[in-house]
Chains A and B, each alone.
Chain A
Amino acid sequence: MGSIQTYMTAGHRQCDDSYTSAENAVSAQNWSEADSAWQQFATELEHHLGQEEQLLFPAFEQQTGNTQGPTAVMRMEHEQMRALVADLSGALQARDSDRFLGLGETLMVLMQQHNMKEEQILYPMTDQVIGNSSELVTRLDAF
Chain B
Amino acid sequence: MRTDGLSFDRIPPLATPLGYFLLAPLFGLLAALILVAQPAMLEQRWLGASLAATHLLALGFGAQIMLGALYQVMPVVTGQPLSQHARLPRLIQLLLATGTLALATGFMTAAPVAFSLAAIALPLALLLFVGCWGTALWRVHPLGESARVLRLAAVGLIGAGGLGLHQALYHAYPSLIGYAGELTDAHLLWASLGWVVMLVMGVSLQVIPMFHVTPALPRWIAQFAAPALLAMLFIATLWPPSRAVALLLSALLTGAYAIAALNALAARKRKRIDYTVRLWQLALCHLLMTALALGASAAGIQLTSLAGPVGVVFGIGFMLSVMLGMLQKIVPFLIYLHLQRACLGDPMAMMALPNMQDLLPTQTQRRQWQLQLLTLLLLYLSYVPGMIELTGRLAGVAAAANFIYLGRALWRARQRFYAALPTA
Contact = CB atoms under 8 A, between A and B. Distances in A.
Interface of A: 16-17, 19-20, 23-24, 27, 63-64, 66, 69-70, 72-74, 76, 79-80, 83, 87, 98-99, 101-103, 105-106, 108-110, 112-113, 115-117, 119-121, 124-125, 128-129
6 contacts: A16-B210, A24-B272, A63-B1, A105-B355, A116-B206, A120-B144
Contacts of B272: 23-24, 27, 101
Interface string B248-289: 000000000000000000000111100000000000000000
A98 to B, nearest CB: 8
Mostly, the B contact residues are helix
A24 B212 CA distance: 13
Contacts of B79: 70, 117, 120-121
B76 A113 contact: yes
B356 A102 contact: yes
Given A20-B269, A24-B270, A110 B344 contact: no
A116 B203 CA distance: 11
A78 B216 CA distance: 24
A128 B142 contact: yes
B3 A83 contact: no
Contacts of B336: 106, 110
Contacts of A64: 1, 3
A101 to B, nearest CB: 6
A102 B269 contact: no
B147 A120 contact: yes
Contacts of A106: 332-333, 336, 355-357
Contacts of A128: 1, 142
A23 B9 CA distance: 29
Interface in B125-156: 142, 144, 146-147
Given A105-B355, A116-B77, A125-B142, 5 more contacts: A20-B269, A103-B355, A106-B333, A120-B144, A129-B1
Interface in B94-125: none
B211 A108 contact: yes
B358 interface: yes
Interface string B322-358: 0000000100110011001000100100110001111
A24 B213 CA distance: 12
Given A105-B356, A110-B337, A121 B1 contact: no
Contacts of B244: none
B421 interface: no
Contacts, number: 107
Interface of B: 1, 3-4, 6-9, 75-79, 142, 144, 146-147, 206, 210-211, 213, 269-272, 329, 332-333, 336-337, 340, 344, 347, 350-351, 355-358
Given A24-B271, A24-B272, A116 B76 contact: yes
Q: Please classify the interface of chain A as helix (H, G, I), strand (E, B), loop, or mixed, using the class held by over half of its residues.
A: helix
A69 B3 CA distance: 7
Contact of B3 (A20, A23, A98, A125): A125
Nearest to A90: B351
Nearest to A121: B79
B78 A121 contact: yes
A125 B140 CA distance: 11
Given A27-B272, A125-B142, A69 B333 contact: no
A69 B269 CA distance: 34
A121 B332 CA distance: 25
Contact of A101 (B8, B337, B357): B357
Contacts of A113: 76, 333
Which of A20, A64, A112, A125 has the largest number of chain B CB atoms within 10 A? A112
Contacts of A102: 355-358
Contacts of A24: 269-272
A70 B8 contact: yes
